[in-house]
């Protein structure tokens, strides 16, 4: 290329071999193709690791980042900036980056100074709220977007509002294979003289292979020489989570249908050279995928471009590639149609040959040299679209411009405080206090934490959550008394319940926890048990009189309705409880005292938070306005003259007609304020709420009346409170969880709203 000298360094970011996944292979192939197309350019890779032990990467990989470690994304951005890369080509799939909906990658994109070209391997037509937010940020921080099908461009325009001229449609690259007859390769696989059907790729339930196997009896009735090769390893993530049960089900199905002599499973992740030989031996390729919403299939592209006949369900990528007599489309989940499609091709060699030649002709536009040329053109357009920012080494590295740094997550103390029964309530210094036993309140908070950390992909070792989550849920299940429909609260170390009915607040906090588990847990068993507990425990709240119990229940209801939907009874309870809080407001609030009671006591911000999220969800303008107004007043009175967070002290609280207690300040209040302010930020987009959340969070780190950190940076523990002259050195469960939950929520806000963080750090306000 004549202008190759314009690109001196090209960086690629994504998974990379020897990691076994389609995106790893794609990243490698694309990088090598561009390197060959532009020999003067230094092409290098940043690899995303999904395991602590890492991989043995080739020299092309110049840096690595850990999927779940947010700080490694900042370090990767620094490396890219110092490397003076001319362009960054990012491979995007929601599942390969850490954070909620893969949000960690946004931290990197905010800091890199070179143009970014993002290849979207998935384009969701109906994203959930988190996926939509991440996608909007990703679009904003990418100079150009690459999709592999016209349907992807259409969705970007119609769903996400992306201008057409920002999107390049570039086919999935393929190796340049000769157009040959399948008989040349069959003998080496022991299938000479047979008709070979093939499905390959990482194996999982979404592939729909069971429908292809169910089609075999009818296919074999007409063509008894058919053999079906299912090539590929089970997806590593699926294998770790569920084992190989899908493959075992497929094998049982083949036996039951009497076709075991016609099915070959090859349970390996094959090299490209081996794959070429399998493709060469293929007569018909089957892709019976179950979902239409698949914008890209690398396996389909490989086989199609090599001139093989394809019978496929009509997912988006297949619809485009197989149109105009380039393949056969059959309905989803229809084994009869698959059989008809295969038999029709085998019975009509001339039609199959026409299909093959049409596919091969189009495939010449998809070989890697042609694709690399199109990517190169996209890279150049990205450079033209955006004037490069000067790359002075430390420019913009002042604290005013760098993102707000959060402490790393350390769960050492949580593990120390948990045994096989549950989480201990209290500690003497940093040692669990067996004498005080356990309580539902803390196990509920811990269960919420586990769900949040699992959702955002934040587990320091990758094994802690899988061990702790069922312990906390089991405790909640054991705490529920089915005879009276109430959760008990306190249990002795000897595993004896100390009451038949717990407090209203503890019951409601348990509902909040199981509502969170029902909606967010990725473990089906956990989610179903949590949903069952929520359904059984909700009716009791109708008779409650505690405003905080109403608020905690509303938080649980919000979770259920936001993620899973809810019954009419759940929606009715939401309306009733929000109405009760509004009635309190109408009774007690005034311009001078905009609050729900004559006293400001504990967990105060939860009252405001409950109305903010409920007001948005119903929607109810009055509830939303009251929630925001009350929270604005609350943060105004929880501030010292120096501007640090000063929660209402538990040593007397704050009466409307009296003086407020300045101490003992509790971590619970800081956490509630962080959470409520971040919800206000999410609902309103007003970045002043992030300022308030940050102020409350920094209370843990030493920005408080005594200038003493309550957070223990070595173990992740947190002291139990701030007295007038000292910190309370005991590190109990409630305090520890208050910090962990605050950190998890701040991490979520930091990834999903980095632009807002930048505005706040610069002293501005983004509305």
pLDDT digits (tens, 9 = 90+) for 70-83: 889 999 999 999 99
> Which string of DSSP letters, residue by residue, matches 207-272?
G-HHHHHHHHHHHHHH-TTEEEEEE-PBPHHHHHHHTTHHHHHHHHHHHHTT-GGGEEEE-S---H
pLDDT of 596 above 50: yes
Helix axes of 524-537 and 464-479: crossing angle, nearest 10 degrees: 30
CATH architecture of residue range(s) 183-362 = 3-Layer(aba) Sandwich (3.40)
* Residue pointed to by tokens 């926890």: 513
Whether residue 18 contacts residue 49, with contact meaning beta carbons closer than 8 Å, is answered with no
Share of the chain above pLDDT 90, in %: 81
d(CA 35, CA 40): 8
Q: When comparing pLDDT for 237 and 228, which is higher? A: 228
What average pLDDT does range 366-390 have in this prediction? 86
Residue range 709-732: mean pLDDT, rounded: 95
The closest alpha carbon to 647, from 667, 620, 628, belongs to 667
- State the DSSP string of 550-574: HHHHHHHHHHHHHHT---HHHHHHH
Instruction: Please give the pLDDT value at position 748.
Output: 78
Please give the pLDDT value at position 273: 84
> What confidence score (pLDDT) does residue 242 get?
78
756 pLDDT exceeds 50? no
> In angstroms, rounded to a whole number, what is the distance separating the alpha carbons of residues 301 and 675?
46
Is this structure's pTM higher than 0.85?
A: no
Least confident of 6-15, 16-25, 37-46, 388-397: 388-397
Quick one: pLDDT band at residue 737, thresholds 50, 70, 90? very high
Q: Is 489's pLDDT higher than 90?
A: yes
605 pLDDT band (50/70/90 cuts)?
Answer: very high
**pLDDT of the residue at 755:** 52
pLDDT higher than 60, residue 164: yes
Residue range(s) of every CATH 3.40.50.2000 domain in the chain: 4-173+369-385, 183-362
Confidence category of residue 306, pLDDT binned at 50, 70, 90: very high
- Residue 389: pLDDT band (50, 70, 90) is very low
| C-alpha to C-alpha distance for 697 and 703, rounded to whole angstroms | 9
Percent of the chain with pLDDT over 70: 94
Contact predicate 559/553, CB 8 Å:
no
Q: Looking at the structure, give the CATH architecture of the domain made up of residues 412-761.
A: Alpha/alpha barrel (1.50)
Distance CA 219, CA 257 (A): 12
Mean pLDDT for 212-234 is 96
Q: Taking 50 as the threshold, does the pLDDT of residue 196 lie above it?
A: yes
Each residue of 502-531: pLDDT tens digit? 999 999 999 999 999 999 998 999 999 999
φ/ψ of 169, rounded to 5, equals -95, 110
Average pLDDT value for the chain: 92
Average pLDDT on 689-717 reads 94
Instruction: Tell me what pLDDT residue 516 has.
Output: 97
Comparing 461 with 615, which gets the higher pLDDT?
615
Give residue 564's pLDDT: 67
* 19 has a pLDDT exceeding 90: yes
Angle of helix 104-111 relative to helix 129-141, nearest 10 degrees, comes to: 20
What's the pLDDT at 762? Answer: 34
665 — pLDDT class (breaks 50, 70, 90): very high
Q: Mean per-residue pLDDT for 257-261?
A: 97
Mean pLDDT of 443-458: 90
Instruction: Give residue 500's pLDDT.
Output: 94
pLDDT for 406: 82
CA nearest to 680, candidates 751, 628, 635: 628
Tell me what pLDDT residue 767 has. 28
Residue 392 pLDDT greater than 90, yes or no: no
Positive or negative, the Cα torsion across 286, 289, 292, 297?
negative
Q: What is the pLDDT of residue 461?
A: 60
Residue 28: C-alpha distances to residues 80, 107, 510 (Å): 18, 24, 48
Question: Is the pLDDT assigned to residue 67 strictly greater than 50?
Answer: yes
Higher per-residue pLDDT: 167 or 54: 167
pLDDT of residue 293: 87
Q: pLDDT digit string (tens) for 534-593? A: 999 999 999 999 999 999 999 999 999 987 678 899 999 999 999 999 999 999 999 999
Q: Summarize the confidence of residues 51-71 as an average pLDDT.
A: 91
CATH 1.50.10.10 in the chain is located at 412-761
CATH of region 4-173+369-385, choose from 3.40.50.1980, 3.40.50.2000, 1.10.10.10, 3.30.465.10: 3.40.50.2000
Q: How far apart are CA 540 and CA 538, in angstroms?
A: 6
> In this predicted structure, what is the pLDDT of residue 760?
36
């Amino acid at each position: 290329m004549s202008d190759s000298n314009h690109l001196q360094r090209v960086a690629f970011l994504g998974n990379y071999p020897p990691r076994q996944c389609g995106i790893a292979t794609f990243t490698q192939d694309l990088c090598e193709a561009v390197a060959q197309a532009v020999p003067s350019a230094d092409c290098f890779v940043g690899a995303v690791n999904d395991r602590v032990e890492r991989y043995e990467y080739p020299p092309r990989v110049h840096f690595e980042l850990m999927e779940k470690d947010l700080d490694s994304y900042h370090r990767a951005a620094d490396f890219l900036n110092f490397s003076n890369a001319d362009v960054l080509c990012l491979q995007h799939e929601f599942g390969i980056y850490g954070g909620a909906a893969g949000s960690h990658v946004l931290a990197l994109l905010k800091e890199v100074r070179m143009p970014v070209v993002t290849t979207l391997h998935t384009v969701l037509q109906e994203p959930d709220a988190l996926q939509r937010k991440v996608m909007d940020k990703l679009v904003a921080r990418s100079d150009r977007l690459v999709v592999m099908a016209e349907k992807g461009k259409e969705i970007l325009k119609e769903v996400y509002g992306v201008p057409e001229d920002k999107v390049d449609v570039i086919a999935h690259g393929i190796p340049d294979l000769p157009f040959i007859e399948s008989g040349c390769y069959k003998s080496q696989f022991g299938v000479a003289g047979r008709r070979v059907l093939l499905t390959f790729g990482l194996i999982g339930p979404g592939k729909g292979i069971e429908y292809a196997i169910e089609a075999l009896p009818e296919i074999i009735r007409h063509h008894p020489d058919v053999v079906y090769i299912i090539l590929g390893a089970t997806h590593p993530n699926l294998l770790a989570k569920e084992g190989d049960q899908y493959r075992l089900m497929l094998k049982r199905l083949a036996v039951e249908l009497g076709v075991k002599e016609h099915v070959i499973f090859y349970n390996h992740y094959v090299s490209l050279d081996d794959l070429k030989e399998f493709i060469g031996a293929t007569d018909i390729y089957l892709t019976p995928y179950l979902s239409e919403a698949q914008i890209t299939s690398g396996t389909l592209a490989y086989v199609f471009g090599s001139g093989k006949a394809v019978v496929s369900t009509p997912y988006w990528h297949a619809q485009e590639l197989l149109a105009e007599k380039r393949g056969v489309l059959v309905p989803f989940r229809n084994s009869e149609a698959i059989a008809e499609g295969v038999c029709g091709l085998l019975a009509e060699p001339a039609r199959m040959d026409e299909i093959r030649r049409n596919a091969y002709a189009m495939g010449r536009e998809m070989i890697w040299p042609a694709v690399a040329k199109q990517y190169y053109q996209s890279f150049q357009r990205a450079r033209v679209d955006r004037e490069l920012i000067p790359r002075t080494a430390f420019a913009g590295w002042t604290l005013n411009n760098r993102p707000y740094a959060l402490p790393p997550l350390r769960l050492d103390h949580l593990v120390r405080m948990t045994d096989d029964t549950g989480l201990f309530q209290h500690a003497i210094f940093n040692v669990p206090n067996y004498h005080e036993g356990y309580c539902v309140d803390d196990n509920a908070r811990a269960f919420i934490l586990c769900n949040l950390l699992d959702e955002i992909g934040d587990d320091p070792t990758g094994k802690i959550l899988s061990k702790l989550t069922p312990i906390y849920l089991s405790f909640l299940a054991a705490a529920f008394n089915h005879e009276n429909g109430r959760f008990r609260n306190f249990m002795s170390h000897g595993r004896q319940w100390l009451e038949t009915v717990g407090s209203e607040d503890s019951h409601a906090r348990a509902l909040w926890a199981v509502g969170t588990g029902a909606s967010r847990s990725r473990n089906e068993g956990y989610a179903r048990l949590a949903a069952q507990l929520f359904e059984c425990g909700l009716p009791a709240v109708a008779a409650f009189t505690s405003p905080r119990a109403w608020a905690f229940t509303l938080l649980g209801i919000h979770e259920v309705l936001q993620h899973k939907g809810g019954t009419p009874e759940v929606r009715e309870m939401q309306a009733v409880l929000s109405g009760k809080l509004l009635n309190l407001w109408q009774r007690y609030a005034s311009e001078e005292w905009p609050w729900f009671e004559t006293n400001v006591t504990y967990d105060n911000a939860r009252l405001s938070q409950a109305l903010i999220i409920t007001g948005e969800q119903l929607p109810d303008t009055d509830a939303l306005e009251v929630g925001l107004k009350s929270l604005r007043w609350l943060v105004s009175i929880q501030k010292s003259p120096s501007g640090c967070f000063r929660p209402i002290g538990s040593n007397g609280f704050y009466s409307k007609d009296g003086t407020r207690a300045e101490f003992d300040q509790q971590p619970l209040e800081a956490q509630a304020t962080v959470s409520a302010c971040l919800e206000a930020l999410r609902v309103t987009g007003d970045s002043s709420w992030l300022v308030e959340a940050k102020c409350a969070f920094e209370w843990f780190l030493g920005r408080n009346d005594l200038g003493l950190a309550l957070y223990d940076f070595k173990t992740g523990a947190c002291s139990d409170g701030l007295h007038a002259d000292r910190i309370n050195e005991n590190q109990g469960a409630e305090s520890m969880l208050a910090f962990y939950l605050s950190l998890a929520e701040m991490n979520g806000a930091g990834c999903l709203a980095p632009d807002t963080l930048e505005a706040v750090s610069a002293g501005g306000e983004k509305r």
